[in-house]
């Protein structure tokens, strides 16, 4: 029967890892794959994570199942990290899930149970895997305007004009911070406005927050989620710890439901646990325990926050250096947006041909839509990168 299977379309992001590996040019640059790298191009394990793992190894007494919701103390820790003080008492429940992806999937199933004919709206563009993770049953996926390629910033007027036309059968995916792939984000005032629109129209906000702490800081990056938590009645939030704890392969995430009342929140919580049961039953525990141990210990928490800040500061300073180098090398202010963008990614606004040329002529690898991983750069190769971009765009 297997011969009847279709060939799935290769994942654009994963597909370019292989050619990079076999490229023998010594100055090749990997700006494709979405993992944080330090100034030596390595994706290391954070010291706070290593220490928590040591403690876990010593303290762990059982490998029995953790329960349907996962580790309740981990869910509590995640609630504090993401919601701060903004979670309305008794109305928010978390479910430990395998990564941000697993969280998105569980919540997508919940959405389909509540609203079998819902339309779910993603930004143009969005993380491509959103389409696969959100597609279920009769759910239709549609796009709202987000990125203006002319200015490389958010087209807020077009975005809000579309959102104002939605209603209670619509679900809107919002990147909590550090938009992937564009790097262009909403300001606090713009979040306030979108929250008001959610209240007026009744659409269901569905946050995806995968880079908290990679933008302007751990608290600052949660502004949107927290604003919504104190403004709207109901919402969904999918969280990933892959990036900010650097525990990608451990698969750590959390799916949150916020209900309008304690009863409806409990009902939604019963449903996400039931959905998880039918999908993978119980989440993997190791990475979530690490996050819990770090958050519960004041010293480890501080160490993690310092390490997160180091990652964040490195990306912001690379952004400033990039914009500076573009100006210095005759690119004018055209690329200033790189310094305004936040998070690991920026969409440079290059054509697929220009992206190909960068790979062929300069051994610079980025995603076909011209998304670059800022963390993949090193200070010493910024000028070379900028010269290459200017060469292919002029
Ligand atoms: N959402 C966004 C926007 C992402 O970029 C990612 C990771 N690339 C995720 C969710 C999911 O991350 P993970 O499943 O690895 O935790």
Q: Is 210 annotated in the active site?
A: yes
Q: What is the pLDDT of residue 9?
A: 85
Q: What confidence score (pLDDT) does residue 319 get?
A: 98
Q: Looking at residue 171, what is its pLDDT?
A: 98
**What is the per-residue pLDDT for 27?**
92
Q: Which residue has the least CA distance to atom 8 on ligand 1?
A: 34
Asked if 118 and 332 touch (Cβ cutoff 8 Å), the reply is no
Cα 271 from Cα 234, distance rounded (Å): 15
Task: Return the ligand 1 atom nearest residue 99 CA.
Answer: 16
Best residue among 101, 108, 369 to mutate for probing ligand 1's pocket (most ligand atoms within 8 Å of CB) is 101
Task: Measure 278 CA to ligand 1 centroid, in angstroms.
Answer: 22
Task: Give the atom of ligand 1 at the shortest distance from the alpha carbon of 127.
Answer: 3
Write out the two tokens for 61: 């007494």
pLDDT given for residue 198 in this prediction: 98
Decide if 108 contacts 139 (C-beta within 8 A).
yes
In a structure prediction context, what are the per-residue pLDDT tens digits for the chain, which is 394 residues long? 999 999 998 877 777 778 899 999 999 999 998 999 999 999 999 999 999 999 999 999 999 999 999 999 999 999 999 999 999 999 999 999 999 999 999 999 999 999 999 999 999 999 999 999 999 988 999 999 999 999 999 999 999 999 999 999 999 999 999 999 999 999 999 999 999 999 999 999 999 999 999 999 999 999 999 999 999 999 999 999 999 999 999 999 999 999 999 999 999 999 999 999 999 999 999 999 999 999 999 999 999 999 999 999 999 999 999 999 999 998 889 999 999 999 999 999 999 999 999 999 999 999 989 999 999 999 999 999 999 999 999 8
What's the angle, vertex CA 32, arms to CA 52 and CA 171, rounded to 5?
A: 80
CB atoms within 10 A of CB 233: 15
Among 69, 184, 195, 210, the active-site one is 210
Taking the CA of residue 103 as reference, the ligand 1 atom at the shortest distance is: 14
Annotate 33-96 with DSSP letters as a single string.
Answer: S-----TTS--PPPHHHHHHHHHHHHH----S---TT--HHHHHHHHHHHHTT-SPTTSEEEEE
Query: Ligand 1 centroid vs 100 CA: distance in angstroms?
Result: 5
**Short-list 189, 194, 193, CA closest to 207:** 194
* Residue of 36, 240, 373 to test ligand 1 pocket, by largest number of atoms within 8 Å of CB: 240
Q: Is-catalytic flag, 208?
A: yes
Q: What is the pLDDT of residue 237?
A: 98
Nearest CA residue ID for atom 7, ligand 1: 210
What residues line ligand 1, using a CB cutoff of 6 Å? 34, 99-101, 127, 175, 180, 208, 210, 240, 242, 248, 253
Instruction: Give the ligand 1 atom nearest the CA of 102.
Output: 14
Does 295 participate in catalysis according to the annotation? no
Enumerate the H helices of 278-381 as residue ranges. 286-296, 298-328, 337-340, 352-362
ipTM above 0.90, yes or no: yes
Confidence (pLDDT) at 219: 98
Please name the residue whose Cα sits nearest to atom 5 of ligand 1: 180
């Amino acid at each position: 029967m297997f011969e009847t299977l279709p060939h799935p379309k290769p994942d654009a992001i994963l597909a370019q890892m292989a050619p990079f590996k076999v490229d023998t040019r010594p100055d090749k640059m990997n700006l494709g794959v979405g993992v944080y790298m330090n100034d030596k191009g390595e994706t290391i394990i954070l010291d706070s994570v290593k220490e928590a793992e040591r403690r876990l190894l010593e303290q762990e007494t059982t490998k029995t199942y953790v329960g349907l919701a996962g580790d309740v103390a981990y869910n509590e820790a995640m609630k504090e990290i993401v919601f701060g003080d903004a979670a309305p008492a008794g109305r928010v429940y978390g479910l430990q899930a395998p990564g941000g992806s697993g969280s998105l999937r569980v919540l997508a199933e919940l959405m389909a149970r509540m609203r079998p004919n819902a339309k779910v709206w993603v930004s143009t563009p969005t993380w491509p895997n959103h389409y696969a993770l959100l597609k279920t049953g009769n759910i239709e996926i549609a796009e709202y305007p987000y990125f203006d390629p002319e200015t490389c910033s958010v087209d807020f007027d077009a975005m809000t004009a579309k959102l104002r036309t939605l209603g209670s059968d619509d679900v809107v995916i919002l990147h909590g911070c550090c938009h992937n792939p564009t790097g262009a984000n909403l300001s606090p005032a713009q979040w306030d406005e979108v929250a008001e629109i959610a209240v007026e129209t009744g659409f269901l906000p569905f946050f995806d927050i995968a880079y908290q702490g990679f933008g302007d800081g751990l608290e600052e990056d949660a502004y949107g989620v927290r604003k919504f938590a104190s403004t709207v009645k109901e919402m969904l939030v999918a969280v990933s710890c892959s990036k900010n704890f650097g525990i990608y392969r451990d698969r750590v995430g959390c799916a949150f439901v916020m209900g309008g009342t304690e009863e409806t929140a409990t009902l939604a919580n019963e449903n996400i646990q039931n959905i998880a049961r039918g999908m993978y039953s119980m989440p993997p525990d190791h990475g979530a325990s690490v996050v819990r141990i770090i958050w519960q210990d004041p010293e480890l928490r501080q160490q993690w926050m310092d390490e997160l800040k180091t990652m964040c500061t490195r990306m912001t300073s690379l952004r400033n250096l990039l914009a500076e180098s573009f100006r210095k090398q005759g690119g004018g202010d055209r690329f200033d947006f790189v310094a305004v963008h936040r998070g690991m990614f920026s969409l440079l606004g290059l054509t697929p041909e220009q992206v190909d040329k960068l790979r062929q002529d300069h051994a610079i690898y980025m995603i076909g839509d011209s998304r670059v991983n800022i963390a993949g750069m090193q200070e010493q190769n910024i000028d070379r990168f900028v010269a290459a971009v200017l060469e292919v765009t002029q």
